[in-house]
């Protein structure tokens, strides 16, 4: 069989290909001192997280999904002539590494094989990692004592959540300018993949480029859902701005790739950082949602204007879920709240209980700890496959966050 073409045409259609990133060196570098700066609420037991993540990947593959792992994909990319110097020219600069350390750092990285270099590109390179033969007197300026660690390349532990960095919207992909500085370098790694890896060169890029300054225009894939019927949901959240949403919508409309963008105006909260932390699809007509946030969403629809640009419709007096149903041509959606009462509901939302990812209509992965929500999904006719979530969820992301779909079928409505 020929491989499925790249493109994501729904949230629940048959999933053919997906990108994940295993826990690794970046998570070993998490400490109580730096975890907050790296956007984690706690340090991980890395070995346990790796086992749980591998079990998730193995189960996806047993479902017939082609799973790409970022370390492996990036190592394959670096093996392509021109890719390694292209990426290191952009990573090892005076602004990032500092004058006096450029040559030694570059020489060390150039001495590594592709797989080892990938570990450092994702996991980070501390000044103390440089072997003796690559250590110059300039290291005296580096502060690596009294609980401080200076990085020549910062660790990127949030690559675990591949959903955010790029997102396929129908037949093209966005290279997202991420909100927090701790994540900015992730998109450059993905640009290297799309520039050089033979499976991805020539892909249609709707919007975004990590080598440009996007100012206040930030976009993260956890806010983006191409749900089908020409509609795209985008959360206007803590991390995705109206400046980015309007640019993406315009590009999609110009290309005829979408006919409507439904904007979900959300509060700027850590607990509800993306739309997919409070709302995801579990079947063609089943969603799971957290009412404390979703009931208050301010919904706005963007549609292409006759003379270019877009028209804006404020969906006043209409619940977000009702607008989503209407955009799919449905009378209503069956909506599953967290179970167990108010306290359990808040705990389950925090533990990614509303962050389900589907492999086909009515078959989803969720964390095992969200027992009440999982049972209610089953009562709604959804098959729930559980992921061990004790360690993987410490960065506030579940199955939806840990997967970046690359090829997914449309769904008939």
Catalytic residues: 401
Residue 407 β-bridge partners: 7, 17
Helix (H) and strand (E) counts for the chain?
A: 13, 20
Q: Which two tokens stand for residue 379?
A: 């009562």
Say how many C-beta atoms besides its own lie within 10 A of residue 37's C-beta: 11
Find all residues with CB under 8 Å of 341, minimum gap 6, and list them. none
Q: Which two tokens stand for residue 56?
A: 């998730």
* Pair 334, 371: CB distance under 8 Å: no
Q: Compute the chain's Rg from CA coordinates.
A: 21
Question: How far apart are alpha carbons 286 and 333 in whole angstroms?
Answer: 6
Compute the Cα dihedral for 75, 42, 276, 368 and give only its sign. positive
Question: How far apart are alpha carbons 310 and 229 in whole angstroms?
Answer: 18
The whole-angstrom distance between residue 406's C-alpha and the CA centroid of its chain comes to 12
* Pair 259, 200: CB distance under 8 Å: no
DSSP letter for 368, please.
T
Whole-number Cα distances in Å, 303 to 194, 243, 254: 29, 16, 11
With CA atoms as reference, report the closest residue to 396 among 356, 355, 351, 358.
351
Question: How far apart are alpha carbons 31 and 37 in whole angstroms?
Answer: 10
């Amino acid at each position: 069989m020929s491989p499925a073409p790249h493109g994501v045409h729904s949230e629940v259609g048959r999933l053919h290909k997906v990108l994940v990133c295993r826990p690794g060196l970046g998570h070993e570098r998490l400490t109580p001192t730096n975890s907050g700066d790296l956007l984690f609420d706690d340090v991980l037991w890395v070995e346990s997280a790796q086992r749980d993540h591998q079990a998730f990947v193995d189960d996806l593959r047993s479902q017939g999904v082609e799973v790409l792992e970022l370390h492996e994909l990036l190592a394959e990319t670096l093996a392509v002539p021109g890719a390694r110097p292209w990426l290191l020219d952009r990573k090892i600069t005076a602004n990032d590494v500092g004058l006096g350390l450029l040559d030694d750092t570059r020489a060390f990285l150039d001495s590594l094989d592709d797989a080892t270099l990938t570990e450092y590109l994702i996991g980070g390179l501390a000044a103390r990692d440089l072997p003796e033969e690559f250590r110059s007197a300039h290291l005296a300026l580096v502060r690596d004592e009294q609980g401080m660690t200076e990085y020549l390349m910062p660790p990127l532990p949030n690559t675990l959540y591949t959903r955010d960095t790029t997102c396929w919207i129908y037949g093209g992909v966005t290279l997202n300018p991420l909100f927090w500085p701790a994540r900015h370098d992730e998109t450059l790694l993905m640009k290297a993949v799309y520039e050089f890896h033979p499976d991805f060169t020539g892909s249609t890029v709707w919007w975004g480029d990590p080598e440009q300054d996007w100012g206040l225009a930030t976009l993260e894939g956890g806010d983006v859902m191409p749900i089908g019927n020409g509609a795209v949901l985008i959360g206007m959240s803590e991390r995705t701005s109206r400046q980015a949403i309007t640019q993406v919508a315009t590009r999609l409309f110009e290309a005829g790739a979408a006919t409507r963008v439904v904007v979900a105006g959300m509060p700027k909260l850590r607990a509800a950082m993306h739309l997919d932390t409070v709302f995801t699809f579990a079947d063609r007509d089943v969603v799971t949602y957290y009412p404390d946030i979703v009931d208050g969403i301010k919904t706005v629809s963007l549609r292409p204007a006759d003379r270019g640009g877009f028209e804006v419709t404020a969906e006043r007096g209409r619940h977000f879920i009702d607008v989503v149903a209407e955009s799919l041509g449905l009378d209503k959606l069956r909506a599953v709240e967290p179970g167990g009462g108010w306290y359990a509901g808040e705990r389950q939302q925090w533990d990614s209980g509303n962050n389900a990812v589907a492999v086909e209509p009515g078959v989803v992965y969720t964390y095992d700890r969200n027992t009440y929500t999982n049972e209610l999904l089953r009562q709604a006719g959804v098959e729930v496959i559980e992921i061990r979530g004790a360690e993987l969820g410490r960065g506030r992301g579940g199955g939806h966050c840990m997967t970046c779909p690359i090829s997914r079928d449309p769904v008939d409505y």
